[in-house]
Amino acid sequence: MATAAASCSTSYSSSYVDIFDKCNLIIPLSSSSLRNLVTTRPTTRFSDLRLRRRNTSSRPDSRIPRGISGMGFQRIITSVANAQPDRIHADTQIKDEVNKGNDLPVNEDSVAEIQRKASQLKKRVVFGLGIGISAGAVVLAGGWVFTGALAAVVFVGAREYFELVRSRGIAAGMTPPPRYVSRVCSVICALMPIWTLYFGQIDISVTSAAFVLVITLLLQRGSPRFAQLSSAMFGLFYCGYLPCFWVKLRCGLSVPALNTKVAAAWPILLGGQTQWTVGLVATLISISSIIAADTYAFVGGKAFGRTPLTNISPKKTWEGAAAGLGGCILTTVLLSKILSWPGSVLSAVAFGFLNFIGSLFGDLIESVIKRDAGVKDSGSLIPGHGGILDRVDSYVFTGALAYSFVKTILRLYGV
């Protein structure tokens, strides 16, 4: 009988321990509500229970008081059992309110993000059309108008380039040229297209510009560094020398495009038939094909882009590049039929391919510079488009490729 009573008492106290553990019940010693439940004769079993609870609890005040009777435990357990459903229901309501509160800002952020993208797209379209119309008028004018506009673009682009060189990302690993050197180089880059138009040769302008730039670097205070010379020389090549080929292409190839039907109906006040030269036609086709390449690549990449093209620009994909190449060649062939230049379809396809290669790698080179500089855009001059370099990066190398193709490969300049 004694053994059975002991085992019953043991199971009785063990069940209380499990209940207290599951409910995580804390009963402080000073609680006045439990004084009526405490007896003056603590039992050995409940002393063991107090020790077990003290060892398993991480809270300093979580302990079972001595001498709680069985009826006291029943009252406590009943109160806890009645309180648990209300507590669970309250916790569920709190979680639901928190979830509702979290959902509301997300929806507002999504709407705000959609509105921001729509506004940015509208700005891109409006300013893109304005730039396109202005560029077309400048190209048609040619001569000093074209060269002066190109010089202004070159000056702003050179300033953006040297600001990128002086940015934290690039300057952390090299010594950028002093500010007055970068300003002198920007002015030299702007004068190079004018020099090319006046003398008709690029080598004279680039040699003279490089000599002046080296002297400026050597006369600076302190010790000149090779990093300063290399970044300045690349800026001279990238922002000054390469854009001069557009002057050579538009103004240097003055052979009349005799087969162009548009020239016959061109008003005399705007230059008449002599206005339409091989340089004008080649420049219009080259610029139009670059615009088509960028547009088709963007649309194709958004719709079908899956395979990344390169780590330099993660947003570019092989699918987008293929769409851009197809759109560039298609535009070149269609314009060649309309303007009757160049004479063969094969020449038009090759011309379109060169334009696409120049635009793609020009864009990637500018992406390398921006990535090392740690910036997204080269500037903020054009709303929705970024800086000048962000808009003309595809044209930097294309002018040299187009001029070399027409001048050296096409027989009789493609007429």
DSSP per position, 247-279:
HIIIII---B-TT-HHHHTS-GGGTGGGG-BHH
Mean pLDDT of the chain: 78
Residue 391, pLDDT above cutoff 70: yes
The confidence score (pLDDT) of residue 96 equals: 56
* Domain boundary pick from 24, 51, 82: 82
325 in a domain, yes or no?
A: yes
| Rounded average pLDDT over 179-183 | 89
pLDDT digits (tens, 9 = 90+) for 4-39: 444 444 444 444 444 444 444 444 444 444 444 444
pLDDT digits (tens, 9 = 90+) for 311-340: 888 889 999 999 999 999 999 999 999 999
34 in a domain, yes or no?
A: yes
* Domain boundary pick from 62, 82, 102: 82
| Rounded average pLDDT over 123-127 | 72
Residue 48, pLDDT above cutoff 90: no
Give dist(CA 398, CA 328) in Å, integer: 13
| Predicted structure pTM score | 0.70
134 in a domain, yes or no?
A: no
Domain hosting residue 73, numbered range: 2-82
pLDDT digits (tens, 9 = 90+) for 275-317: 899 999 999 999 999 999 999 999 999 999 999 998 888 889 9
Provide the token pair at 335. Answer: 């314009």
* Domain boundary pick from 82, 109, 137: 82
| Rounded average pLDDT over 158-181 | 86
Provide the token pair at 398. Answer: 């294309």
pLDDT bucket at 209, cuts 50 / 70 / 90: confident
The confidence score (pLDDT) of residue 239 equals: 94
- 276 DSSP 8-state letter: -
Compare 31 and 367 and report the one with higher pLDDT: 367
pLDDT bucket at 251, cuts 50 / 70 / 90: very high
Provide the token pair at 214. Answer: 């080296």
195 in a domain, yes or no?
A: no
Torsion of CA 208, 209, 215, 217, to 10 degrees: -160
Residue in the structure block whose two tokens are 């705007």: 270
The confidence score (pLDDT) of residue 31 equals: 44
pLDDT bucket at 222, cuts 50 / 70 / 90: confident
Number of folded domains that form the chain: 2
- Angle made by CA atoms 118, 119, 123, in degrees to the nearest 5: 115
The confidence score (pLDDT) of residue 24 equals: 47
Residue 413, pLDDT above cutoff 60: yes
101 in a domain, yes or no?
A: no
pLDDT digits (tens, 9 = 90+) for 346-359: 999 999 999 999 99
The confidence score (pLDDT) of residue 334 equals: 96
| Rounded average pLDDT over 191-202 | 89
138 in a domain, yes or no?
A: no
281 in a domain, yes or no?
A: yes
The confidence score (pLDDT) of residue 405 equals: 95
The confidence score (pLDDT) of residue 385 equals: 64
Q: Count of CB atoms within 10 A of residue 185's CB?
A: 27
pLDDT bucket at 71, cuts 50 / 70 / 90: low
Residue 151, pLDDT above cutoff 70: yes
Torsion of CA 79, 85, 91, 94, to 10 degrees: -110
Percent of the chain with pLDDT strictly greater than 90: 38
Give dist(CA 322, CA 186) in Å, integer: 36
268 in a domain, yes or no?
A: yes
